[in-house]
Chain A
Amino acid sequence: MARPLPTFKEHALREDAFVEGHALCPGCMEAVTFHEVGRATDNGKKTVLTLGTFCGEVSTLMYPNLISWGRGPQSPELFGKSLGVMHNVFESSPTIAEAVRDVATVLEGVGAWKAPSPNVVALSGDGGALAIGLRSLLHTIQRRARIAIFVQMNEVFANTGFQFSPTALPFADSSTAPGGLPEDPIDHVGLAIAAGAAFVAQGSPAFAPFFAEVAEEAINTSNGTAVVFVPSPCIAGWKFEEGLTAELGKLASQTGLFPCFRKRAGEPGEVKHVPEKGKRPPVEQYLVKQRRFEHLARLVDGEIRVTPGREGDLAKLQSYADRNVERLKKWAAF
């Protein structure tokens, strides 16, 4: 008997709900994520997506021209292929998703909805979810809303001009925090777990098998909120060359800055794709590929050159990476 395909290959063969023609930057990781969400939700259930305002919204829903969502014309029997998209202000995607779920539950309760219970998926930027929208995100999680949220972590408010976001790594340059801030970013994974999420994960689509499993698990979580943080290299805001999106996605995990992580409430979780301390690539390897860290270190003739006087700041970033891995291990055991 043929062996089953790994999840990501099986997803790759499904019908996508995010289609070409969108206006996201070349190599934008948000786009890669949306394709995976599009494929993973082709599972026989109707899908409702809710989007706040962020790059992924304004560049994919541009009335009257480019609407990049949908699985094309389908006959009514294929209700499970259908897709609803609701978009609203910035911080609203978890709240609107929660409302969609409530309506679906009522319709199911009175017998008006006979089809399988829909996939309800919220998409948001990290600014939308973790800066201005933090309170709505946490309350949605705390109410155990049965939705999945994918948060695109590009560490800036990209859509409005690369302003500082509280998820930014120390010393990452942004338009409103030139040269970055020395403080550690907020512990987004910890916040979601502490608020009571049923499933919390962090993962880059660059680790295709891991990410597909996480997406599948998030979309099928039925006992509360599933939150997936997706580190999203942003070519325009981070200023890197073409062809590095996936590589940066991988390095973000391997250096310990954004390790792959997954945890189901009440069960031990796992921290993945980050080698043990000592075997980890140093953070410089990640930083020198992005001009948002140019003031700390840059590549000169293939060699890493640390800016004189910034060695201490670099050590601080390295220390954050190492502490971050240890903290995630603690959350995994929580």
Chain B
Amino acid sequence: MTIDAQFLRQRLESGASVDVRGDGKAGGGLVLVMQSFGAALATHPELDVQDWPLFSSARKGANVRAYLRLARGEVLTACQITSPTVAVLMNEAAGEEVDFAEGTHEALYVVNTPASPEEAAQKYRLGGRVVTVSADQLGQKYLGRPLGNVGVLAALVHATGFVSPDAGLESLLHVMKKRRIPQRLVDQNAELFRAALTESRVGDFPADPSTDHRRPAAHPKTDVPAGAQSALRTSRKNRTSGYGRPGVRVEFHDETNRCNGCSLCVVACPEGIIEFTPDPRGALVTGAKFDDFCKVCRECIASCPLDLFHEVETPMRREGVLESA
């Protein structure tokens, strides 16, 4: 079975709904993708669209999830999507914390990554059709910032084929104008959109037991699942270091015991994770709970007069991804 535009169309024609779910980071662009995609679909005379984001009080860097259902006739179901037909991964950093393919076995996956469809399929254990687009890189090229939203939207419009790319672009422009985005940026985004259409890559992969992300059925009386919001916020690790920008971390180095106990970093860290030993001079710093809780806000770096904190690059942690949910 190929999960292509024709498959999706047939699904709609059979009366079933197509359920799209997106995972990303607050501030990462997922909301714009889903809003513009929904707006584009709503121009279709025969489709009914329902979309709602699940991020009510998400802070910058928190995991967010968005849902979109479409069907011929009226969409009447209103609850979270637990087994999507189309799963979008807006930010790979979110993929480290939640299983964006949760509930699927064979589906259409759209992933914002420089990786090939083969690599993404292997990394996230995906069966069905995998579309990858290096949307952050496109953002860097056209906007000067690694913003992946428009690239992912283009790939999504293209891969699902419900509306023409032109219609997709038009509703994007409409949404951007509504958000009071300056014309200069709107134009750059239109160019980016067109480029992303040609640069997205497609691969089809067989579904097998390893691509199964469905959960065993919960016992209705004894298993009380965490609320959808709580599950998202706390993620697999129940730690907040995932709020930090991807690809970087903060380290503390003081091999020669230069820390003078000025205590400025201790009171500046919004997470309160600086570790120290009390001393007549103040707090003598020994490190911080970086791995679990550091959000890479750089306040310790800005506050330390001796430059003992540093931001360093780090490869994306893959082990979190491969571990099965």
- A12 B282 Cβ-Cβ under 8 A: yes
- B230 A32 Cβ-Cβ under 8 A: no
**Looking at the complex, which one of B226, B243, B302 makes contact with A26 (CB distance below 8 Å)?**
B243
* Complex CA–CA separation, A55 to B301 (angstroms): 25
Question: How does the 8 Å CB contact mask read for A52-92 relative to B, with 1 for contact and 0 for none?
Answer: 00010011001111100000000000000000000000000
Give every chain A residue within 8 A of B61 (Cβ-Cβ).
25-26
- B233 A65 Cβ-Cβ under 8 A: yes
A20-B293, A26-B60, A65-B234 known; A245-B299 Cβ under 8 A? yes
A65-B226, A246-B299 known; A21-B270 Cβ under 8 A? no
Give every chain B residue within 8 A of A242 (Cβ-Cβ).
245, 296-298
- A55 B272 Cβ-Cβ under 8 A: no
Within 8 A of B (CB), among A241-269: 242-247
**Looking at the complex, which one of B263, B295, B299 makes contact with A9 (CB distance below 8 Å)?**
B263
Give every chain A residue within 8 A of B75 (Cβ-Cβ).
none
Smallest Cβ-Cβ distance to B224: which chain A residue: A64
Let me know if A36 is at the binding interface, CB within 8 A: yes
Interface residues on B, range: 35 or more
- B282 A245 Cβ-Cβ under 8 A: no
- B234 A28 Cβ-Cβ under 8 A: no
A12-B267, A12-B283, A13-B282 known; A62-B299 Cβ under 8 A? no
**Looking at the complex, which one of B59, B292, B299 makes contact with A23 (CB distance below 8 Å)?**
B59
Give every chain A residue within 8 A of B302 (Cβ-Cβ).
243-247
* Shortest beta-carbon distance from A233 to chain B in Å: 11
A-B contact count, CB below 8 Å?
133
Question: How does the 8 Å CB contact mask read for A222-246 relative to B, with 1 for contact and 0 for none?
Answer: 0000000000000110000011111
* Complex CA–CA separation, A64 to B269 (angstroms): 25
* Complex CA–CA separation, A235 to B61 (angstroms): 11
Question: How does the 8 Å CB contact mask read for B259-285 relative to A, with 1 for contact and 0 for none?
Answer: 001011011111111001010101100
- B268 A25 Cβ-Cβ under 8 A: no
Let me know if A2 is at the binding interface, CB within 8 A: yes
- A23 B267 Cβ-Cβ under 8 A: no
A26-B243, A242-B296 known; A20-B272 Cβ under 8 A? yes
Other contacts beyond A35-B270, A236-B60: 6, CB < 8 A = A23-B57, A26-B296, A27-B297, A35-B267, A35-B272, A245-B302
Question: How does the 8 Å CB contact mask read for A128-155 relative to B, with 1 for contact and 0 for none?
Answer: 0000000000000000000000000000
Let me know if A159 is at the binding interface, CB within 8 A: yes
Smallest Cβ-Cβ distance to A21: which chain B residue: B240
Let me know if B289 is at the binding interface, CB within 8 A: yes
* Complex CA–CA separation, A18 to B276 (angstroms): 17
- Sample 28 A-B pairs with CB under 8 A, ordered by A number: A5-B282, A9-B261, A9-B263, A9-B282, A11-B267, A12-B263, A20-B272, A20-B289, A22-B240, A26-B297, A32-B267, A32-B299, A35-B267, A35-B269, A38-B272, A58-B57, A62-B230, A62-B233, A64-B227, A64-B230, A65-B226, A65-B230, A159-B57, A206-B268, A208-B263, A242-B297, A243-B299, A243-B302
Within 8 A of A (CB), among B48-66: 57-62
Let me know if B303 is at the binding interface, CB within 8 A: yes
Let me know if A16 is at the binding interface, CB within 8 A: yes
Question: How does the 8 Å CB contact mask read for B293-325 relative to A, with 1 for contact and 0 for none?
Answer: 101111101110000000000000000000000
Most buried by A among B58, B60, B229: B60
Give every chain A residue within 8 A of B240 (Cβ-Cβ).
20-23
* Shortest beta-carbon distance from B287 to chain A in Å: 14
Let me know if A48 is at the binding interface, CB within 8 A: no
- B239 A21 Cβ-Cβ under 8 A: yes
Smallest Cβ-Cβ distance to A212: which chain B residue: B267
Give every chain A residue within 8 A of B261 (Cβ-Cβ).
9
Give every chain B residue within 8 A of A245 (Cβ-Cβ).
270, 297, 299, 302
* Shortest beta-carbon distance from A169 to chain B in Å: 19
* Shortest beta-carbon distance from A62 to chain B in Å: 6
A23-B62, A64-B230 known; A246-B263 Cβ under 8 A? no
* Complex CA–CA separation, A153 to B88 (angstroms): 37
* B interface: dominant SS: loop
Write the residues of chain A forming the contact surface with B, with a CB cutoff of 8 angstroms.
2, 5, 8-9, 11-13, 16, 18-29, 31-32, 35-36, 38, 55, 58-59, 62-66, 159, 178, 205-206, 208, 212, 235-236, 242-247
**Looking at the complex, which one of B60, B278, B298, B301 makes contact with A25 (CB distance below 8 Å)?**
B60
* Complex CA–CA separation, A8 to B266 (angstroms): 10
Give every chain A residue within 8 A of B266 (Cβ-Cβ).
12
- B264 A208 Cβ-Cβ under 8 A: yes
* Shortest beta-carbon distance from B278 to chain A in Å: 5
* Complex CA–CA separation, A58 to B60 (angstroms): 14
Give every chain A residue within 8 A of B165 (Cβ-Cβ).
none
**Looking at the complex, which one of A16, A28, A159 makes contact with B270 (CB distance below 8 Å)?**
A28
* Complex CA–CA separation, A36 to B303 (angstroms): 16
A20-B289, A26-B61, A32-B270 known; A8-B180 Cβ under 8 A? no
Most buried by B among A20, A31, A159: A20
Let me know if B238 is at the binding interface, CB within 8 A: yes
- B59 A27 Cβ-Cβ under 8 A: no
- Going nearest first, the 7 A-B pairs with the smallest beta carbon separation are A243-B298, A27-B297, A26-B295, A31-B270, A26-B297, A25-B60, A25-B59
Smallest Cβ-Cβ distance to A17: which chain B residue: B272
* Complex CA–CA separation, A58 to B289 (angstroms): 23
Question: How does the 8 Å CB contact mask read for B2-31 relative to A, with 1 for contact and 0 for none?
Answer: 000000000000000000000000110000
**Looking at the complex, which one of A23, A28, A35, A64 makes contact with B226 (CB distance below 8 Å)?**
A64
* Complex CA–CA separation, A173 to B4 (angstroms): 43
Let me know if B114 is at the binding interface, CB within 8 A: no
- B270 A27 Cβ-Cβ under 8 A: yes
* Complex CA–CA separation, A246 to B62 (angstroms): 22
Give every chain A residue within 8 A of B295 (Cβ-Cβ).
25-27
Let me know if B244 is at the binding interface, CB within 8 A: yes
* Shortest beta-carbon distance from B265 to chain A in Å: 10
- A26 B244 Cβ-Cβ under 8 A: yes
